[in-house]
Amino acid sequence: MSIKREYEKGFTWPYFIVGAIMQFLTFNRYTTPSYGLGGRLFSITAEKLTKSPGENSDKILIDAVNEFGMKRGQETAQTVLQKGKDLSLRNMLVYNDLADNNFKTSISIKDGDLIIKVKKCNFYHYAKDWGYESGTHPYCECEDGAFLKGYNPSIKIDVEPCYKTGKDYCLIHYRVKGEIKEV
C-alpha cells in the first residue's frame, strides 16, 4: 500500500518517479481542461451569490471555493478508490483532474515531504494580466486545502502564494509522514 509507505517513509525520488510514470501512462484521462475547471468554479460561485442576497460576498466566495475544492477532492478520491488504490499523495498526483499545461512546476523532496514550486500558473497569470490579481487570493488560499479535505484530510499542506511572498512562484509543501489515519 502506497499510503502506508508514505506515512512510514515519506517521499523519495524513486517513489515519485514511479508515480510520474503512472500519471503519464493515464494520458491525461483524469484531467479537466482549465476552462472546464474555471466553469465549475464560476457556476458554484454564481449559484451561491444569487441564492444568498444580503450575505457577506467575501464569505460566500470563500464558501464556494471550499465547496469546489472539496468536490474535486472527493471526485479524485472516488476515481482512486475505483481503481482499487489507496488515497496516498502519489495516487492523488496520478489521478487528479488538473491538466499539466495549467502551470510550470519544479519538484523537490526534503525530509520525506514533497515540495512543488509552481511558476506561471494560468489561473493567477491570466487574472493578473487583466488586473484582477486580487480576485485570485481567496482561491489560492483555500482551494488546495479544501481539495485535500475532500480527498484525504490526513495529508497536510502549506501554501505560500506568490502575492504574499513577493516571489515569482508559489510554493506548495505536502506533508505525509506520520501516523496513519483511516479515511
Start-to-end CA distance of the chain, whole Å, equals 14
Residue 21, amino acid:
I
Grid cell for residue 25 = 501512462
Report the predicted TM-score, pTM, of the whole model to 2 decimal places: 0.82
pLDDT in tens, the chain (183 residues): 788 989 999 989 999 999 989 988 887 778 776 756 776 787 688 777 767 767 687 788 889 999 999 999 999 999 999 999 999 999 999 999 887 778 889 999 999 999 999 998 888 878 888 877 888 888 888 999 999 999 999 999 999 999 899 999 999 999 988 755 655
Gap between the Cα atoms of 139 and 136, Å rounded: 5
169-175 and 113-119 as β-strands: parallel, antiparallel, unpaired?
Answer: antiparallel
Q: Nearest to residue 175, comparing CAs of 57, 39, 21, 11?
A: 11
Whole-number Å distance between alpha carbons of 127 and 120: 11
- Residue 69 makes CB contacts below 8 A (sequence gap 6+) with 142, 143, 144, 145, 146, 147, 149, 150
Grid coordinates belonging to 61: 466566495
Enumerate domains of the chain plus CATH numbers.
2-175 (3.30.1380)
* DSSP at 32: B
Distances (CA, A) of 75 to 91, 97, 182: 13, 9, 18
Which residues sit opposite 121 in a β-bridge?
A: none
